[in-house]
């Protein structure tokens, strides 16, 4: 039950996970790595929005926890 996030361009500084209602359910700060593994075992099944911050860029993606 892990989510693997990789970014080969820059180190990821911060990760936030939101549920579909927009509630922040998970956050990791001071990551500064190009590959991060996040335990998702505490998340309920459903759709989530992942937001990553790296060197002047913010990226978003969706994922489904089954």
Local confidence pLDDT in tens for the 66 residues of the chain? 788 888 767 778 889 999 999 999 999 887 777 778 888 888 999 999 999 888 888 999 999 998
DSSP letters spanning 3-16: EEEE-SSS-EEEEE
Report residue 40: phi and psi, to 5°.
-110, 15
pTM of the model: 0.83
**8-state DSSP, 43:** S
């Amino acid at each position: 039950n892990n989510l693997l996030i990789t970014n080969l361009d820059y180190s990821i500084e911060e990760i936030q996970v939101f549920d579909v209602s927009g509630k922040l359910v998970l956050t990791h700060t001071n990551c500064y790595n190009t590959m991060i593994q996040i335990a998702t075992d505490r998340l309920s099944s459903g759709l989530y929005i992942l937001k990553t911050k790296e060197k002047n860029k913010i990226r978003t993606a969706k994922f489904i926890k089954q």
